């Protein structure tokens, strides 16, 4: 099969999955022959089983969204997938068969490197195909999938757990984004994260009379296949590979499995429209101005409640959050022919994937936890912590796994916890949530319960090809972000930051940052 060329991406994906399946069968035969496998062989077995599922799920997710055009694909994607299949057949399958049939020596660790890196390359090839399709023209009928309460209940924690669809903990108007899942989907259990919703009354200081209980939280669900959801607990191992192309040139380095960035249909729709010039017709929203207030004042009502929710209180009420407004003057500069660091190449000549944080560029100065959150690997980006305070006063909070950056933990029920989903506004035309701050933070050495005092970097500058600037405190960071209102950001950075642009988003929409013109 390795030498066979196909005319459709769907057939190429099937060939890659078949190679993974064949390798898994061979290693099963080795297990039967030797009765017991060494640990490295067992890890290879898990990687083979997982690789097939991960690649298939990535293809099916895009196939459902983009239809037959994605199944056909283009020559670039077909060539890339064919090369991956050949690589698996020649290096992994052949070596395993030699070990099984002729007792030839084999390096299981090296084979696992090939298996994991092939999975990463296959997922990247499919992601790139999707991006090329978006830039070619508008994609019709891209709509947020309806919230399926029954599927949420069946895929949260233990399958026996029940949630009342009429409960005040469930919001019913969300698109899918932001599940706790690892870059590689496992073959074990289910792990989903629910995030509370900011009621309209908490946004921009607008008070509403709707019952507070109906808007305590919002749920983020993954619309990928059921098999993908079942694999969210798998923790892939780092691999050492000789990298080429997307992974570097001739450099042997330690590489973590790559995650498919979380999907947001609204981002797809914007990118497709923008490429056709439709973004120019977006209506400008009337800004809502309020009294300017310093974010650093300890008595400020919007940020003086960063303290943790108590662990023993799973259904705490939320107080409406007044708006924060401190409109700064916007400094603008030409956006054409920007230079990339010390290079003399224009931004048009640089591949977008080379500009954004990755292992190859040291995460572009961002914290490793921020990078993992950007690519959707929330399981290895953030963890629950407990601040001691006695038997009844211990407080839970979120903390980055790679530094001291913190965030408020919001209990959803006795078993599930979510993020702080309040919407904040510091400059005109920009609104954001806590998760955007997490995705933007630079390694924090000192522990501080107030995340607004951390140091932040600008992902949009990275995407523009400029050196990443850093800002002490959220106020300075937001004043800088106002510069990105014209021109608006585009490309993969919108997926990574869960960014909606061009219009003012409603509070119930799924976004971490919203930038208006």
CA 188 to chain centre: 21
Instruction: Give the domain extent around 46.
Output: 9-141
Is the residue at 78 inside a domain?
yes
Is the residue at 442 inside a domain?
no
Is the residue at 219 inside a domain?
no
- Identify which of 496, 268, 464 has the alpha carbon closest to the alpha carbon of residue 348: 464
Is the residue at 84 inside a domain?
yes
Report yes or no: 148 and 192 within 8 Å, Cβ to Cβ.
no
Is the residue at 297 inside a domain?
no
- Identify which of 38, 150, 129 has the alpha carbon closest to the alpha carbon of residue 79: 129
Number of domains in the chain: 1
Ordered per-residue pLDDT tens for the chain, 517 residues: 445 678 899 999 999 999 999 989 988 888 787 766 677 788 888 888 888 888 988 898 888 878 888 999 899 999 999 999 998 988 888 888 888 888 888 888 888 888 888 888 888 888 888 778 776 654 443 444 443 434 333 333 343 333 333 333 333 333 333 333 333 333 333 333 334 333 333 433 333 333 333 333 333 333 333 333 333 333 333 444 444 333 333 334 444 444 444 555 555 555 555 555 544 443 433 333 333 333 333 333 344 444 444 333 333 333 333 333 333 333 333 333 333 333 334 444 555 556 788 888 889 999 999 998 988 888 889 999 988 876 667 788 999 999 999 999 998 888 888 999 999 999 999 999 999 999 999 999 888 888 999 999 999 999 888 888 999 999 999 999 999 988 888 888 888 899 999 899 999 998 999 998 7
Strand pairing category for 410-411 and 406-408:
unpaired
Produce one character per residue of 118-144: b if its CB has 16 or more CB atoms within 10 Å, e if not: bbbbbbbbbbbbbbebbeeeebeebeb
Is the residue at 414 inside a domain?
no
pTM above 0.85, yes or no: no
CA 177 to chain centre: 8
Is the residue at 221 inside a domain?
no
Burial status of residue 385 (CB atoms within 10 A of its CB: 0-12, 13-18, 19 or more): middle
Q: Which residues pair with 395 in a beta bridge?
A: 310, 387
Is the residue at 307 inside a domain?
no
């Amino acid at each position: 099969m390795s030498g066979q060329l196909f005319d459709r991406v769907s057939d190429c994906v099937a060939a890659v999955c078949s190679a993974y399946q064949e390798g898994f069968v061979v290693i099963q035969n080795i297990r039967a022959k030797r009765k017991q496998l060494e640990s490295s062989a067992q890890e290879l077995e898990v990687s083979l089983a997982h690789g097939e599922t991960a690649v298939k799920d990535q293809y099916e997710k895009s196939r459902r969204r983009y239809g037959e055009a994605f199944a056909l694909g283009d020559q670039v994607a077909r060539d890339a997938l064919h090369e991956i299949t050949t690589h698996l057949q020649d290096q992994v399958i052949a070596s395993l068969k030699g070990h099984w049939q002729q007792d030839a020596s084999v390096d299981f660790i090296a084979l696992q490197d090939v298996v994991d890196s092939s999975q990463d390359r296959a997922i990247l090839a499919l992601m790139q195909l999707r991006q090329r399709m978006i830039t070619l023209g508008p994609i019709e009928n891209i709509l947020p999938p309806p919230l399926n309460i029954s599927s949420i209940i069946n895929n949260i924690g233990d399958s026996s757990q029940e949630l009342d669809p009429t409960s005040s903990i469930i919001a019913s108007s969300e698109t899918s984004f932001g599940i706790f899942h690892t870059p590689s989907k496992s073959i074990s259990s289910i792990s989903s994260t629910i995030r509370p919703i900011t009621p309209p009354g908490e946004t921009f200081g607008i008070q509403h009379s709707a019952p507070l209980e109906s808007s305590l939280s919002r749920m983020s669900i993954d619309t990928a296949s059921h098999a993908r959801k079942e694999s969210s607990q798998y923790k892939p191992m780092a691999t050492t590979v000789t990298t080429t192309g997307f992974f570097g040139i001739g450099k042997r380095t330690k590489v973590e499995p790559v995650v498919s960035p979380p999907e947001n249909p609204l981002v797809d729709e914007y990118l497709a429209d923008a490429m056709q010039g439709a973004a120019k017709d977006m209506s400008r929203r009337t800004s809502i101005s309020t009294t300017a207030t310093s974010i650093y004042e300890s008595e400020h009502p919007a940020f003086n409640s960063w303290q943790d929710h108590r662990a023993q209180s799973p259904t705490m009420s939320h107080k409406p959050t007044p708006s924060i407004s401190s409109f700064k003057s916007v400094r603008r500069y030409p956006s054409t022919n920007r230079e990339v660091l010390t290079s003399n190449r224009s931004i048009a000549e640089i591949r977008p994937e080379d500009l954004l944080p990755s292992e190859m560029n040291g995460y572009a100065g961002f914290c490793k936890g921020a990078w993992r959150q950007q690519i959707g690997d929330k399981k290895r980006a953030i963890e629950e912590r407990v601040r001691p305070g006695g038997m009844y006063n211990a407080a839970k909070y979120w903390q980055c796994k790679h530094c001291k950056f913190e965030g408020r933990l919001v209990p959803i029920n006795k078993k599930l916890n979510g993020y702080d989903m309040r919407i904040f506004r510091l400059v005109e035309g920009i609104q954001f949530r806590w998760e955007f701050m997490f995705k933007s933070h630079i390694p924090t050495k000192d522990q501080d319960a107030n995340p607004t005092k951390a140091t932040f970097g600008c992902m949009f500058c990275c995407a523009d090809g400029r050196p990443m600037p850093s800002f002490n405190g959220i106020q300075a960071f937001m004043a800088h972000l106002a510069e990105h209102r014209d021109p608006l950001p585009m490309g993969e950075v919108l997926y990574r930051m869960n960014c909606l642009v061009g219009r003012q988003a409603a509070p119930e929409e799924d976004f971490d940052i919203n930038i208006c013109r």
